[in-house]
Amino acid sequence: LDLTEGHTIVDRAHSALNLFGHIDVLINNAGVSSRGSVLETDIRVDRTIMETNFFGPIQLTKALLPSMLERGCGQIVVISSIQGKMGVPLRSSYSASKHALHGYFDSLRVEVAPRGISVTLVCLGYVQTRLSVNALRGDGSQHGVTDATTAKGMSVEKAAHKTIESFSLHKRECVLAKPIHQIALYINMLCPELIDWILRKRAKVN
């Protein structure tokens, strides 16, 4: 399912409903990252990332939500990132798309909770996937490199296990990241200027 092709999403959702009868859990797990400064990133790359990371998932959710509401039960799980809670240099489009997910699904959670639907946001740190390899540079080409932070990240198996655990407990939000990155989120709330300074230093090193 290509989430940049909006015309196919509703058809695929209806096909799934016809095949299974209903959907108990929807996990929105699509994602493409970015590598490049705001200035050097073509607007078409920004749009591609927003289509994949934001508009695709919300269109799929809209397609399946009516059947969940009709049954009065269902779970919507959104795989986000700690970058949806804190902007990071050279990842502007990716951070923006994840921030958008948080605003949208936080709103949806409040709307549908009285009707038996739960929404869980899972904020991942670095996970050993091909996210950095498939990330888009400013000109739209693939980054093609496994970043050191990704290589040292959480295993896919552990991330999957923790994700299942979090939505099984109907958690509102779950942060799955190393302690240092969780601490960074708290510092960002308490003293955002300090995080800005740290990220500027990090960007210069990289």
Q: Which residues carry out catalysis?
A: 94
Nearest to 3 by CA among 49, 40, 65, 38: 49
Q: Where are the extended beta strands (E) located within 41-189?
A: 74-81, 117-124, 136-137, 173-176
Place of tokens 């009868």: 21
Coil, strand or helix at 92: helix
Task: Please report how many Cα atoms fall inside a 13 Å half-sphere around the Cα of residue 175, on the Cβ side.
Answer: 15
* CA–CA separation, 128 and 198 (whole Å): 24
Nearest to 44 by CA among 4, 72, 73, 90: 4
First-to-last CA distance in the chain?
34
